[in-house]
């Protein structure tokens, strides 16, 4: 089986990582019980972790066709638990449940595998609970933690030092385009454009290729820099950016919230008659807790949407910076389809102006991480991005 075969076909543009993980699967006696997958957004950290989990459970090392592989990749394998924070963090209650599950012996597979997506979002108490399990793991348990390489220090050093680190890179644009054509049946020209526009982010490229609304949203964001000619224009742009992020969050959460709420109400017997009525009355706390978790998820999704817009903006100013500094050379651009805009920005603000604006975008991202209200943070940003008077 080549590195492109089986479960590893899902891991795009990471030949060195696939080779390392396949070697670990082939030598179970040398297996590490805790792994930390790091890499920039879109590099496929959780995809690599799931492929590794499938290969660990597969008698053939990840052929991709057996029951074990299919159930792991579908998220239904009894001995593979995945934790992904729906809200802003992974709390100690979730972590303790995770530790409880991790302590069980495998019921079907060869290992009890625990995958933690966005492990950098564990609270201090949650990290401490997981650390104890990693320090003294059961003999057939494997922890696969995923965290952005941009902030590896967000995972406590006590946990990092006990993990084998797997570093992923941003996949090459042509590898992303190839997988969109081969796996998703997307037109080659559209796939090439989406892969380039997404900067090698596989999920984002797929979203741009499939969804016209996503393409329009990206266009609206990249139209912002050249529109900032006055204070009024800056404030309008800020309103538009924040509103667009909220609308995307609302669309994503609406269906999820309704389904979850109805399921909980049904389990509590809300609206029923007879003996279940008393139990339903006692379910107010359960519904309130659900509502709290849903609000936290909506907040996170809104921030993630806004952060994607900020990354796109920073990349356009980066294009302006390299064009201003490149002279006669023709640099590779993050947004090749917006080259004319980047050239106009380079002419109007120069390399120094582009660099200052990149710093302003990064400062805005930091402010949002520190819970500054989005409207306040983004208004401050757009004012800082205002174009100089001709």
Per residue of the chain (390 residues), what is the pLDDT tens digit? 443 478 998 898 899 999 999 999 988 776 789 999 998 878 889 999 999 999 999 999 899 899 999 999 999 999 998 887 766 678 888 888 888 888 888 888 789 999 988 888 888 888 888 888 888 888 889 999 998 876 667 778 888 888 999 999 888 889 999 989 988 899 999 999 999 888 878 888 998 999 998 899 999 999 999 999 999 999 999 999 999 988 887 877 776 766 666 666 666 666 555 555 444 555 667 667 667 766 766 777 778 888 889 989 999 999 999 999 876 677 888 898 999 999 999 999 999 999 999 999 999 999 998 889 999 999 999 999 999 987
Three-state SS letters, the chain: CCCCCHHHHHCCCCHHHHHHHHHHHHCHHHCCCEEEEEECCCCCHHHHHHHHHHHHHCCCCCCCCCHHHHHHHHCCCCCEEEECCCCCCECHHHHHHHHHHHCCCCCCCCCEEEEECCHHHECHHHHHHHHHHHHCCCCCEEEEEEEECCCHHHCCHHHHCCCEEEECCCCCHHHHHHHHHHHHCCCHHHHHHHHHHCCCCHHHHHHHHHCHHHHHHHHHHHCCHHHCCCHHHHHHHHHHHHHHHHHHHHHHHHHHHHHHHHHHHHHHCCCCCCCHHHHHHCCHHHHHHHHHHHHHHHHHHHHHHHHHHHHHHHHHHHHHHHHHHHCCCCCCCCCHHHHHHHHHHHHHHHHHHHHHHHHHHHHHHHHHHCCCCHHHHHHHHHHHCCCCCC
Specify the pLDDT at position 377. Answer: 95
Specify the pLDDT at position 271. Answer: 55
Specify the pLDDT at position 1. Answer: 44
Phi and psi dihedrals of 82, rounded to 5? -120, 130
Distance CA 220, CA 309 (A): 9
Residue 5's Cβ-count burial label (10 Å; 0-12, 13-18, 19+) is: exposed
For residue 351 the two structure tokens come to 């390399």
User: How many helices and strands (H and E) does the chain possess?
Assistant: 15, 5
What does DSSP say about strands 164-167 and 34-39: parallel, antiparallel, or unpaired? Answer: parallel
Total number of residues shown for the chain: 390
Specify the pLDDT at position 282. Answer: 54
For residue 77 the two structure tokens come to 């394998």
E strand intervals along the chain: 34-39, 80-83, 112-116, 141-148, 164-167
In 3-state terms, what secondary structure has residue 334? Answer: coil
Specify the pLDDT at position 104. Answer: 85
Sequential DSSP letters for 256-302? HHHHHHHHHHHHHTTT--STHHHHHHTTHHHHHHHHHHHHHHHHHHH
In 3-state terms, what secondary structure has residue 63? Answer: coil
Specify the pLDDT at position 318. Answer: 94
Contacts of 40 (CB under 8 A, 6+ apart): 148, 149, 150, 168, 169, 170
């Amino acid at each position: 089986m080549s590195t492109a075969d089986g479960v590893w076909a899902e891991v795009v543009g990471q030949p060195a990582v696939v080779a390392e993980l396949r070697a670990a699967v082939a030598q179970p006696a040398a297996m590490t019980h805790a792994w930390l997958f790091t890499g920039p957004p879109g590099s496929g950290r959780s995809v690599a972790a799931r492929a590794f989990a499938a290969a660990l459970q597969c008698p053939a090392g990840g052929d991709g066709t057996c029951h074990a592989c299919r159930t792991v990749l579908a998220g239904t394998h009894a001995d593979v638990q995945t934790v992904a924070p729906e809200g802003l963090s992974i709390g100690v209650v979730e972590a303790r449940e995770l530790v409880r599950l991790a302590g069980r012996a495998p019921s079907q597979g060869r290992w009890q595998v625990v995958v933690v997506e966005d492990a950098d979002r564990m609270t201090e108490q949650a990290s401490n609970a997981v650390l104890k399990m990693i320090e003294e793991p059961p003999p057939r348990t494997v922890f696969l933690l995923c965290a952005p390489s941009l902030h590896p220090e967000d995972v406590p050093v006590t946990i990092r030092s006990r993990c084998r680190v797997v570093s992923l890179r941003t996949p090459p644009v042509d590898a992303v385009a190839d997988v969109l054509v081969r796996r998703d049946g997307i037109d080659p020209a559209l796939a090439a454009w989406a892969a380039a526009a997404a900067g090698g982010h596989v999920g984002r490229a797929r979203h741009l290729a499939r969804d016209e609304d996503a393409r329009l949203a990206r266009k609206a964001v990249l139209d912002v820099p050249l529109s900032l000619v006055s204070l009024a224009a800056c404030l309008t742009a800020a309103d538009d950016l924040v509103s667009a992020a909220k609308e995307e969050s609302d669309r994503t959460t609406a269906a999820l919230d309704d389904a979850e709420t109805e399921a909980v109400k049904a389990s509590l017997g809300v609206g029923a008659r007879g003996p279940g009525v008393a139990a339903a009355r006692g379910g107010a706390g359960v519904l309130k807790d659900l509502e709290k978790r849903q609000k936290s998820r909506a907040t996170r999704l809104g921030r993630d949407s806004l952060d994607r817009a900020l990354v796109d903006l920073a990349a356009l100013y980066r294009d302006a910076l390299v064009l201003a500094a490149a002279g006669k050379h023709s640099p590779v651009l993050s947004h090749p389809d917006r080259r004319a805009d980047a050239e106009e920005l380079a002419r109007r603000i120069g390399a120094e102006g582009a660099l200052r604006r990149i710093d302003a975008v990064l400062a805005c991202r930091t402010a949002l991480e520190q819970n500054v209200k989005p409207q306040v943070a983004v208004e401050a940003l757009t004012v800082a991005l205002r174009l100089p008077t001709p």
